[in-house]
Structure formats: C-alpha cells, structure tokens
C-alpha cells in the first residue's frame, strides 16, 4: 500500500478512532466519579435504541445538529472556521419568530415559507460582518464570530425582554409570573408533523415527540451539499480554496469570492438550525430557547470529517448521546451535572482528535505533493 492510499485509509477510519477515544475518556471520567462505565454505556444504548419514543427523540435531537453540522462543514471546506453558528441560528430563529407572531391570515405553506426565508436572511446578515472583516480587513473569523455570539445573546435578551415582550399574557392566579417571551405564533406557521408518514413506514413514534418537516429537509440539504461539492465547479473551487488558497489562486480561482460564497452558504444554513424546535415544539420565542446547537455542530462536522453525508450519522450519534444521557440519569441515578460533563468530555475529545488527525494527515499530504 502506497502512502497516498494509507492517508485515504486513515481519513476513513479517523472518525472511528475519535469515537473510541471519546468513549475511553468518558469511561475514565465515570470511573473517577464512582460509576461502572460498562453499566452506564449499556444503559445508554438500551434506553436509546430499545424504545420507540427514544428513537423519535434521537431523530428530533439530531435535526438541529444536521443543519449546524452542515453550516460548520461548508465553511471548513473553504478553510473558514465559523464558530459563530450559535449566534447566527439564534438571530435567525428570532427573525423567523417575528414572522410567526407578526403576520396574520396567511396560508400555512406561505407563512412557514416566509418564516424560513426570514431565518436564513437574519443569519446571513449576522455573518456578513465576519465575512467583511475576514476578506477585507484580515481579521480572523474565529475572533469576530465568537465575539458576535455574545452580541447576539445580549441583543436577543433586549428584543425579547423589552421590545417584543408579550405584555398581555393571561396567567391564572397562583401559577407564577408571566414568561419573558414574544407573543404566541399563529397556528399557520407550525411545522407539519411526520408521525403519519412514520407510521406508514412501521415506526410508531408517540405524538408528544415533535418530529417535523425539518428532519427530511436537513437530510435533503446534506445530499444537496454533497452534490455541490462532488459535481459542480463551485464545490471544486470551495474545496481547492480550503486545501490550498495560494495554489487555487494560481490556477485562476477567485479565492476571496469563493470564501464569500462559503460564508453565505454557511450563514444561510445556520439560520435553519433552530426552526425544528421553534415551529415544531414551541409556540413563542422566549429567553429559554435551546442553545448550544451551534457549538455542538462543530463536533458534528469534525466527526463527519466535513463530509456532508457524514454529517447525517454524526448528528444521529450526538442525538443518541443526548437521549442516552436522559436514560442514565433516570435509571442509574447519575446526577444531571455529571451527565452534562460526560457529554462535554466526549464531544471535546471527538473535536480535538479529529482536528489533530486532520492536521497530521494534511501535513503528510503536502509532503507527498511536494
């Protein structure tokens, strides 16, 4: 086997190696906390895969990670580290929420379509500043996107708690104080559920699991990204720019223009991250709207080696970890704090391992090319 074949093989097995190392790191943590790793992992798997409601929950948890992983992967393909998916998807979700509670009397298909368009437009606007700073001022995108995450958090707090706060909430006496949330969405913006289709396929998912249209949309988007990278000039230019911008420029690729397009694609997909929860489970946008999908999306993309189709099983794996964490908390009385730490250790281990292996193999490829 020549060296190039060895590199291809190592890239193929890198996700498996990262997963095994994360399991080992998690086992060491569990041992140090006084728990049996085999028992914990066995409970995690049996609870996650042995119940129809768990399978539905895994698919529901994986849906936003599909979009987040794709948003990160597309940017990384072009050599861009978009750490700002977290803030971008929250801004996009709020823009979609505004459409959800502000527009009335629209057909359901039009209302939901406008909300999706608003989410993508909002996240696109949020990524324009990092793109400008990167391409025209030389500011590293990691710095600008991280800082804009915190700007997004503060801006959303002001918008929800002050500008668009629903001050007309009807709270029964003795049942607490009003929620810090926007007005309720119109019913026409709710995402269509998948339960009927799943029952036809033999999967009986309980009605309280909010599986909806955004799951197949995420899968179709992953396939579309794969097609772009595999069969279009834009995909070739993005890959060439990410692997060697100087070489790409020398063969006529407009590197800055390609990077700008990658920023746009990444930002647009980031806007879709929160919509499965927003329009499938929630009826308003509040300050407790789920976070951290963007940060977890980095690990999803790294485990998938930035391959669009690889993002699908990677997102499912992280959905399984989320659901399995609920199982070990319930049946083994593992405190939720330890469950979160375990998940964090495994995610961090996956991300660091994939990053280190990618750098190592990239160096070998460059030496081979020279």
Tell whether the model's pLDDT for residue 143 goes beyond 70.
yes
- Predicted confidence (pLDDT) per residue in 125-140, tens digit: 999 999 999 999 999 9
- Min mean pLDDT across 3-7, 43-47, 104-108 is at 3-7
Predicted confidence at residue 19, as pLDDT, reads 83
Q: What percent of the chain has pLDDT over 90?
A: 63
Mean pLDDT of 71-95: 96
Mean pLDDT of 283-306: 91
C-beta neighbour count of 326 within 10 angstroms = 17
Predicted confidence at residue 4, as pLDDT, reads 72
pLDDT-derived band at 117 (thresholds 50, 70, 90) equals very high
- Min mean pLDDT across 6-20, 80-94, 241-255, 289-303 is at 6-20
Tell whether the model's pLDDT for residue 370 goes beyond 60.
no
- Predicted confidence (pLDDT) per residue in 316-348, tens digit: 999 998 899 889 988 888 888 888 888 888 888
- Min mean pLDDT across 48-57, 229-238, 250-259, 309-318 is at 48-57
Predicted confidence at residue 203, as pLDDT, reads 75
Predicted confidence at residue 1, as pLDDT, reads 62
pLDDT-derived band at 354 (thresholds 50, 70, 90) equals confident
Higher pLDDT among residues 227 and 364, named by residue: 227
Predicted confidence at residue 369, as pLDDT, reads 63
- Predicted confidence (pLDDT) per residue in 177-199, tens digit: 678 899 999 999 999 998 887 77
**Which domains, ranges and CATH numbers included, belong to the chain?**
22-167+176-363 (1.10.3470)
Predicted confidence at residue 206, as pLDDT, reads 81
Tell whether the model's pLDDT for residue 67 goes beyond 70.
yes
Whole-number average pLDDT of the chain: 90
Tokens in use for 273?
A: 């991250």
pTM: 0.90
CA distance 243 to 90: 30
Predicted confidence at residue 179, as pLDDT, reads 80
Tell whether the model's pLDDT for residue 172 goes beyond 70.
no
Tell whether the model's pLDDT for residue 53 goes beyond 90.
no
Predicted confidence at residue 70, as pLDDT, reads 97
Predicted confidence at residue 7, as pLDDT, reads 73
Predicted confidence at residue 357, as pLDDT, reads 80
Mean pLDDT of 232-259: 91
């Amino acid at each position: 086997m020549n060296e190039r074949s060895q590199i291809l093989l190592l890239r193929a097995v890198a996700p498996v190696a990262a997963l095994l190392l994360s399991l080992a790191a998690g086992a060491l943590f569990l041992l140090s906390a006084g728990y049996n790793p085999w028992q914990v992992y066995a409970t995690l798997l049996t609870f996650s895969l042995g119940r129809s409601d768990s399978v539905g929950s895994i698919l529901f948890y994986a849906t936003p990670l599909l979009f987040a992983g794709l948003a990160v992967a597309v940017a990384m393909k072009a050599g861009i580290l978009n750490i700002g998916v977290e803030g971008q998807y929250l801004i996009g979700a709020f823009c979609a929420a505004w459409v959800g509670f502000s527009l009335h009397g629209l057909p359901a298909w039009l209302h939901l379509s406008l909300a999706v368009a608003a989410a993508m437009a909002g996240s696109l606007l949020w990524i324009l500043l990092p793109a400008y700073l990167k391409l025209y001022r030389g500011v590293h995108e990691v710095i600008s996107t991280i800082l804009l995450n915190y700007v997004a958090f503060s801006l959303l707090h002001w918008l929800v708690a002050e500008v668009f706060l629903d001050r007309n909430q009807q709270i029964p006496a003795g049942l607490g104080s009003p929620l810090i949330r926007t007005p309720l969405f119109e019913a026409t913006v709710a995402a269509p559920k998948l339960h009927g289709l799943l029952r036809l396929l033999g999967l009986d998912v309980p009605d309280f699991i909010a599986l909806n249209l955004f799951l197949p949309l995420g899968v179709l988007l992953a396939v579309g990204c794969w097609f772009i990278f595999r069969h279009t000039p834009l995909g070739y230019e993005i890959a060439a720019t990410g692997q060697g911008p100087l070489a790409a420029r020398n063969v006529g690729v407009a590197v800055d223009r390609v990077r700008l397009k990658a920023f746009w694609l990444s930002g647009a997909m980031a806007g879709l991250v929160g919509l499965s929860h927003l329009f499938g489970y929630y009826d308003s946008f509040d300050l407790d709207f789920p976070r951290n999908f963007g940060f977890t999306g980095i690990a999803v993309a790294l485990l998938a080696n930035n391959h669009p189709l690889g993002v699908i099983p990677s997102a499912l794996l992280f959905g399984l970890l989320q659901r399995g964490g609920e199982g070990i908390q319930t049946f083994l009385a593992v405190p939720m704090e330890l469950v979160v730490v375990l998940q964090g250790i495994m995610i961090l281990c996956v991300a660091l391992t994939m990053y280190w292996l990618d750098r190592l193999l990239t160096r070998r490829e460059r030496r081979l090319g020279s």
